[in-house]
Amino acid sequence: MQKYVIEGGVALRGTIKAGGNKNAALPCIAASLLTDQKIILQNIPAIEDVDVLLKILSTLGAVVERPQPGTVIITAANIKSGQVPADLAKRIRASILFAGPLLARVGEVELPPPGGDVIGRRRLDTHFLALIGLGARIEANDRFRIFLEKPLAGSDLFLDEASVTATENAVMASVLASGETIIQNAACEPHVQDLCHMLNSMGARIEGIGSNILRIQGVKKLHGTEYRIGPDFMEVGSFIGLAAVTRGDLLIQNAGVKNLRMIKMGFAKLGVEWETDGDDIHIHPNQSLRIQADFGGAIPKIDDAPWPGFPADLTSIMVVTATQCVGTVLIHEKMFESRMFFVDKLISMGAGIILCDPHRAVVSGPTRLRGAELVSPDVRAGMAMVLAGLAAEGKSTIHNIYQIERGYENLVPRLQNLGARIEKIQD
């Protein structure tokens, strides 16, 4: 096991380039199973979740090549089995993404319960109900067996929640189903859009991309493609928070400006602004860091919602950023019942936070944070702890950094290049 050791109190300065969207890379990798031809994926981040998913592909019979950084070539010509190995599946939540494409490719999937972040219960019902609607049957015990008694057939599906990965599974299964499939209450995040655009480049017929109603005309066969995924707006939001809490001067290249509108509104409530130049953004060091009251002087609220609402994965970042701002704000994380529990560590560092319940935290600032011993419970809370450590006085140590590096590529050297005093050492 390894850990981060951070000496805080240094303003980050320089240029950093946003990596590829982790949450787009994972379903696009899984979608390679839908064809026996070569898939070339560009802008794939070198992170733990990608490594695990590619290992699962290899165990299923796919040939995986990584000729250069950011490029993955997958040829799934010899997929015979739909059995996902338990030791790999339990390491990441994204292992559930094999359900749809394996069902469409070989007609049967055996999938252990997926692993992933410790942020509360993450139900799988929406995935299974969508696949049942397309003709699958489900048997559940210590593993999930999903199988077909007759070929997949298009259907009018209404998802009981706008789940990103359930939408992706439904899309991947339905592109090879006979007839038309309509998916209502579909998730429409940028990573879902990336998957749909990739599938269309493989010969799928998907309409309504970017909306919550997808119409899919099934095709008999998909072909290979070369596709480049978009930038990771979660990583961009994390870097914006880093610049703010350290009073840094940061240029973020390839930031994916079109996907930052709601994120920009959220940071503006904390007095954090930036300038845009093409697809780059510049966060200046002279931020007001003053929380903007709602009209009438009411305490403002930052709350998450399905796209295009504020992303749930950035609420942890906003909590830490708010500790360095003048005023009071309510952070309301509606989607996961355990994600906010990490704030007790911030309170031990000196943060002025009242945890109202598992979903709501009132943050008053600014407060002077002190270095502390921390343990990362999930990828986003772990990154939030990195922000806190870099903003704090003294030394902070963060354990369980495996969770952080599941989502952030080469984080330590990239931050060191900005002047951060952070090291990764053996725990």
Boundary-marking domain end, from 228, 257, 285: 228
Shared domain for 273 and 140, answered yes or no, is no
Shared domain for 189 and 267, answered yes or no, is no
Can you name the residues that pair with 231 across neighbouring β-strands? 20
Shared domain for 275 and 205, answered yes or no, is no
The pLDDT, as a whole number, for residue 23 is 94
Shared domain for 358 and 240, answered yes or no, is yes
Shared domain for 380 and 392, answered yes or no, is yes
Instruction: Tell me the C-alpha distance between 401 and 406, whole Å.
Output: 9
Instruction: Tell me the C-alpha distance between 301 and 360, whole Å.
Output: 10
Question: Among 49, 117, 232, 304, which one carries the catalytic annotation?
Answer: 117
Residue range(s) defining the domain that contains residue 194: 22-228
Which element (helix H / strand E) includes 301? strand 301-303
Instruction: Tell me the C-alpha distance between 41 and 32, whole Å.
Output: 9
Across the range 229-249, mean pLDDT stands at 97
The pLDDT, as a whole number, for residue 165 is 94
pLDDT band at 115 (very low <50, low <70, confident <90, very high): low
pTM of this structure: 0.92
pLDDT band at 119 (very low <50, low <70, confident <90, very high): very low
- CATH for 7: 3.65.10.10
The pLDDT, as a whole number, for residue 394 is 96
Shared domain for 163 and 275, answered yes or no, is no
pLDDT tens for each residue of 223-237: 999 999 999 999 999
Shared domain for 10 and 38, answered yes or no, is no
Q: Report helix, strand and coil shares of the chain as percent, to nearest 5.
A: 35, 30, 40
Boundary-marking domain end, from 228, 256, 289: 228
Is 117 noted as a catalytic residue in this protein? yes
pLDDT tens for each residue of 171-211: 999 999 999 999 999 999 999 999 999 999 999 999 999 99
Count of domains for the chain: 2
The pLDDT, as a whole number, for residue 122 is 54
Boundary-marking domain end, from 176, 205, 228: 228
Shared domain for 243 and 123, answered yes or no, is no
Average pLDDT of the chain, as a whole number = 93
pLDDT band at 87 (very low <50, low <70, confident <90, very high): confident
Shared domain for 15 and 70, answered yes or no, is no
List the one residue out of 289, 295, 254 whose CA is nearest residue 270. 289
Q: Would you list the DSSP string of 312-379?
A: GGGHHHHHHHHTTSBEEEEEE--S-TTGGGGHHHHHHTT-EEEEEETTEEEEEE----B--EEE--SH
Shared domain for 240 and 362, answered yes or no, is yes
Shared domain for 216 and 263, answered yes or no, is no
The pLDDT, as a whole number, for residue 118 is 39
Across the range 321-335, mean pLDDT stands at 95
The pLDDT, as a whole number, for residue 340 is 87
Question: Above pLDDT 90, what percent of the chain?
Answer: 82
Shared domain for 69 and 195, answered yes or no, is yes
Instruction: Tell me the C-alpha distance between 163 and 165, whole Å.
Output: 6
pLDDT band at 121 (very low <50, low <70, confident <90, very high): very low
